[in-house]
Amino acid sequence: MRLNIAAAIALLANTALAGVALPRQGGGRQVFAHYMVGLTSGQTRDQWQTDISQAKSAGIDGFALNIGSQDSWNGEQLQLAYDVAASNGFTMFLSFDMAASSWSVDQVVQLVNQYKNSGSQLKVNGKPFVSTFEGPGWADNWGAVRSATGDIYLVPDWSSLGAQGVGSKLGQIDGAFNWGAWPNANEYTINTGNDVAYKSSLQGKSYMMGVSPYFYTNLPQYNKNWYSSSDSLWYDRWKQVLDIMPEYIEIITWNDYGESSYINDPIPRQIVSGAESYINGFGHSAFRFILPYFISAYKAGNANVALPSEGAVAWYRTTPATVCSDGGTVWGQGGGASATGGTKDLVSVIVLSNSPKTITVSIGGSSQTVSASSSVGKAYFYQVPFNGRTGAVTVTVDGKSSTGPQIQNACPPTGHVNFNSVAIQI
């Protein structure tokens, strides 16, 4: 199973003719969500319909379908995905996972040719959009793929090369996807330095910017155990989107539960073994609440667009970071320091409102009212520390309240801290 994936999807405005969606052509900024097909063995059409309906209602244009060569269910699931998307005015494109699997040219050509004329396939300048997760060593094969498919619009994730390295391969690509959606090891926030470097290296070719709400993984069987600072990440990254204004955005992810980056509520059969302890009970669907506004602002190039609705999303861990062992979790990929240094004990809140306002956060009945610490357009960001308080968390905004799971001053049954957060909508 692929637990690190990158997918790039660029899905463009859909035209319907006699109830059949025509292939989409490039034009305008687009937002996609990374979808792990490697988790979908036995998945039903109804589940695809649910996922696509939820994503579309959040303003997402389509899914990037991350696929590995070894998965026997690819044929069935890709067909379902493309078919359901076509009937819903939603788009899809293939993202070949070249870090976790090995692909032959013939395999890639066969899949591109099979889906390139689907009603839900993204096309840019008449060419099917194709991406990867890694695979710079495969770069010289894409010429053969172009010849055998009638050409493609290739926007790979070759983040291992860095922006400058990607810039050295401009003759082989039509753009690039930057997987770097989280702060570096030992850094509490992310900046736009890497985004700016990518745009410069691409020299006008398409840039797809990665945006993610969260990251925590603890899967020893894959030698993965790190937390990337996420206390303000969802707010920071969308604020940065409005500065960078890339051609495309990919939300990382829709359903990668093993890495805690998902923006839907977990589907039990898709949770990789070992992740249940930090995923079950930790819904993330509330993260989607802010998407219609930020996506609208991004596409308009103006943060002063109309709010689809007022309200908020709050997220927090359910124990203090130092309540017990860190479980060996380090602060950021490749880091060596404890993850406890990369997070603070607090409730983070993004409010969407037509005017500034205070909010009240109650933990175990003890309340604190605060003003926003930052804002962009009609989005306001707040953080309220635990201050040693435990109990149920209630967030009140403009007279509306929601209550989430309790904060407990007790070690989880695993014997170590769960660095994942729960998200609630107000």
Q: Which helix (H) or strand (E) holds 21?
A: strand 20-21
Does the pLDDT of residue 4 top 50, yes or no? no
58: helix, strand or coil: coil
**H-type helices in 58-171, by residue range?**
74-86, 105-115, 142-149, 162-167
Q: What pLDDT is stored for residue 27 in this prediction?
A: 59
SS (H, E, C) 270-310: HCCCCCHHHHCCCCCHHHHHHHHHHHHHHHHCCCCCCCCCC
Phi, psi of 269 (to 5 degrees): -70, -15
User: Which DSSP string do the residues of 316-339 spell out, in sequence order?
Assistant: E-SS-TTSS--TT-EESTT--SBG
Taking only the tens place, the pLDDT of each residue in 248-260 is 999 999 999 999 9
Does the pLDDT of residue 405 top 70, yes or no? yes
d(Cα 271, Cα 280) in Å, to the nearest integer? 9
On whether the CB atoms of residues 244 and 301 are closer than 8 A, the answer is no
- pLDDT band for position 8 (cuts 50, 70, 90): very low
Contacts of 364 (CB under 8 A, 6+ apart): 389, 390, 391, 392, 406, 407
**For residue 248, which amino acid is it?**
Y
d(Cα 291, Cα 278) in Å, to the nearest integer? 25
Q: Please, which contacts does 140-149 make with residues 24 or more away whose CB atoms are closer than 8 Å? A: 140/172, 141/105, 141/108, 142/172, 142/173, 143/172, 144/105, 144/109, 145/105, 145/108, 145/109, 145/112, 148/105, 148/109, 148/113, 149/109, 149/112, 149/113, 149/116
Residue 365: exposure state from Cβ atoms within 10 A (0-12, 13-18, ≥19): exposed
Two tokens at 102? 């090995």
Q: What pLDDT is stored for residue 23 in this prediction?
A: 37
Residue percentage of the chain with pLDDT more than 90? 93
On whether the CB atoms of residues 351 and 378 are closer than 8 A, the answer is no
Taking only the tens place, the pLDDT of each residue in 72-120 is 999 999 999 999 999 999 999 999 999 999 999 999 999 999 999 999 9
* Average pLDDT across the chain, whole number: 94
pLDDT (mean) for 228-241 = 98
On whether the CB atoms of residues 195 and 246 are closer than 8 A, the answer is yes
Q: What pLDDT is stored for residue 1 in this prediction?
A: 36
pLDDT (mean) for 297-303 = 97
Residue percentage of the chain with pLDDT more than 70? 94
Q: What pLDDT is stored for residue 116 in this prediction?
A: 98
Does the pLDDT of residue 15 top 80, yes or no? no
d(Cα 366, Cα 175) in Å, to the nearest integer? 51
d(Cα 304, Cα 349) in Å, to the nearest integer? 20
pLDDT (mean) for 286-299 = 98
Does the pLDDT of residue 139 top 80, yes or no? yes
Taking only the tens place, the pLDDT of each residue in 306-323 is 999 999 999 999 999 999
Does the pLDDT of residue 152 top 90, yes or no? yes
pTM of the model as a whole: 0.93
Give 127's strand partners.
124
**H-type helices in 5-68, by residue range?**
45-57
